[in-house]
Amino acid sequence: AVGPFLGGWLVDGPGWRWVFLLNVPVAAVCVPVALRHVPESRAPDATGRFDVLGAALGAASLGLVTYALIEARSATGWVVAAAVLGVLLAGAFVRVERRRPEAMMPPEIFRSRQFTAVNLVTLCVYAAFGGFFFLSVLQLQVVTGYSALGAGAALLPTTALMLLLSARAGELGERIGPRIPLTVGPVLCAAGMVLMLRVGAGASYLTDVLPAMVVLGLGMTTLVAPLTSTVLASVSPGRAGLASGINNAAARAAGLLAVAALPLLAGMGPDAYLDPAAFDVSFDRAMAWCAALLLLGAVLAWATIRSPRKDAPHPQCRTQCAVCSPSLEAPQAATGSARPARTADRRRRRTGGRRTDTPPA
């Protein structure tokens, strides 16, 4: 989330090439911290080997398809060959993953309907996020006239809202289940992207850009934490790391393909970056595509995500109110089970208060 701001500072300062080294200091800090403080866990059926072939096929397939999307306007033989080969390698990847015991994406993990559903939602929403963050900073620079640093700083309200409210959103998701947050969150994000249609030449940050960033930030806050927890809860604890890795890969792949495909879908040619008016029109089309992806994600979440039922010590605990319902030892008369309790009381009165072992009829 802070990436656009740091990237803008690097572009305006040392140069755009330094952007590709941005992850190096982050990894230099995170890897030692993780090795020291994150508890180790291993899958009992792990083979201890890496799926090198699967990783190579997956990376090559994504790379070739992305290249074909970026260069699709030229439609040369090389572009067509790259697209066909990328699709073939994707099929080979699926075939290899079905047969390898150390598969990095074992197909059987998708037997969980909840896991499959939440990954479909991830593909939709993160494709929209990838396209939005890539194109919005360009819109602010090419059309509105911001510097690279200013365009990156304009996105910081989304970061601030996520830092302040993500923990609360996670607690809310635990309380009411993931279905509502995973539906409402994408709808709010779609509303934020619709508000970005107001951002053009001469747009005001306070009245045009900031409202869109705030609504988008609220939507992302509502969505992201419950999405992650749902992914982890949909598989056994021994496969939580695998599930998290697959979900993160789905999010990154969706963003990559969106950045490559959205300019093509929006009619954003190479010369659009030099023409503010043409870029503005193409940006509006791209935001419409992003909003549509988010709404599709919301529909998928509402139709497929289910809140897990918590364990109960007694089946009636799922329907009994702990405050106003009768005790489970004396169920309500509406169920037809209150009569034995009253019969037992009458028997005690007839026997002088002594308990009898004869059960009521």
pLDDT confidence band for 349 (50 / 70 / 90): low
pLDDT at 321 over 70: no
Any domain includes 347: no
Last residue of a domain, one of 304, 319, 341: 304
Q: Indicate if 288 and 156 belong to the same structural domain.
A: yes
pLDDT for 326 equals: 53
d(CA 319, CA 331): 12
Q: Which of 41, 70, 103 finishes a domain?
A: 103
Sign of CA dihedral 38, 43, 98, 48: positive
Q: Say whether both 278 and 156 belong to one domain.
A: yes
| Phi-psi category of residue 199: left, alpha or beta, with phi > 0 → left and psi -120 to 50 → alpha | beta
Quick one: 220 and 235 in the same domain? yes
Map tokens 């009381």 to a residue.
345
- The last residue of one of the domains, among 88, 103, 118, is 103
**Pair 142, 287 in one domain:** yes
Considering the chain, what is the average pLDDT of its residues?
A: 84
Per-residue pLDDT at 338: 46
| Whether residue 304 has pLDDT greater than 60 | yes
Contact 298, 190 (CB under 8 A): yes
Mean pLDDT of all residues in 115-126: 95
Residue 313 has pLDDT above 90, yes or no: no
* 334 is a domain residue: no
Under 8 Å between Cβ of 295 and 190: yes
| Whole-number pLDDT of residue 4 | 74
Q: For residue range 243-272, list pLDDT tens digits in order.
A: 999 999 999 999 999 999 998 898 887 788
313, part of any domain: no
The pLDDT value recorded for residue 327 is 56
Q: Read off the tokens for 309.
A: 């039922």
Three-point CA angle 170, 171, 176, nearest 5°: 100
Which residue segment(s) compose the domain that 96 sits in? 51-103
Q: Looking at the domain assignment, is residue 208 inside a domain?
A: yes
For residue 116, report the phi and psi dihedrals to the nearest 5 degrees: -60, -45
pLDDT digits (tens, 9 = 90+) for 54-82: 999 999 999 999 999 988 887 788 899 99
- Can you state the angle between helices 113-142 and 276-304, rounded to 10 degrees? 160
> Per-residue pLDDT tens for 75-106?
788 899 999 999 999 999 999 999 888 888 98
- As given in the structure block, the two tokens for residue 123 are 């593909």
- Per the domain annotation, does 292 fall within a domain? yes
Total of domains in the chain: 2
232 contact partners, CB below 8 Å, separation of at least 6 = 240, 243, 244
Are residues 90 and 60 in contact, defined by beta-carbon separation less than 8 angstroms? no
The pLDDT value recorded for residue 227 is 92
Separation between Cα atoms, residue 264 and residue 325, nearest integer Å: 60
Q: Which of 303, 296, 114 is nearest to 189 (CA)?
A: 296
Mark whether 87 and 205 lie in a shared domain.
Answer: no
Check residue 83 and give its pLDDT: 92
Range scoring the smallest mean pLDDT among 2-11, 13-22, 197-206, 263-272: 2-11
The pLDDT of residue 332? 47
Tell me what the mean pLDDT of segment 153-163 comes to: 89
> Alpha helix locations (H) across the chain?
3-12, 23-37, 52-70, 77-99, 113-142, 148-154, 156-176, 179-195, 210-233, 240-265, 276-304, 338-350
Q: 154 with 171, same domain?
A: yes
Classify residue 315: in a domain, yes or no.
Answer: no
Tell whether 154 and 62 lie within a shared domain: no
Cα 172–178–184 angle (5° rounding)?
85
Which residues, 6+ apart, have CB-to-CB distance to 350 below 8 Å?
Answer: none
Both 163 and 261 in one domain: the answer is yes
In a shared domain, residues 196 and 256: yes
Q: Are residues 167 and 191 in the same domain?
A: yes
User: Is residue 259 within 8 Å of 200, Cβ to Cβ?
Assistant: no
Task: Please state the pTM of the whole predicted model.
Answer: 0.79
Which stretch, 165-174, 193-202, 220-229, 290-299, has highest mean pLDDT?
290-299
What is the model's pLDDT at position 75?
75
Q: Which domain CATH number covers 183? A: 1.20.1250.20
Q: Are residues 125 and 14 in the same domain?
A: yes
Stretch 127-156: mean pLDDT, rounded? 91
Same domain, 179 and 55: no
Please tell me the predicted confidence (pLDDT) of residue 323. Answer: 46
| Cα–Cα distance, 19 to 157 (Å, whole number) | 22
pLDDT in tens, 196-242: 999 988 889 999 999 999 999 999 999 998 999 899 888 888 788 88
Does the residue 333 lie in any domain? no
The span from the CA of 131 to the CA of 263, in Å, is 9
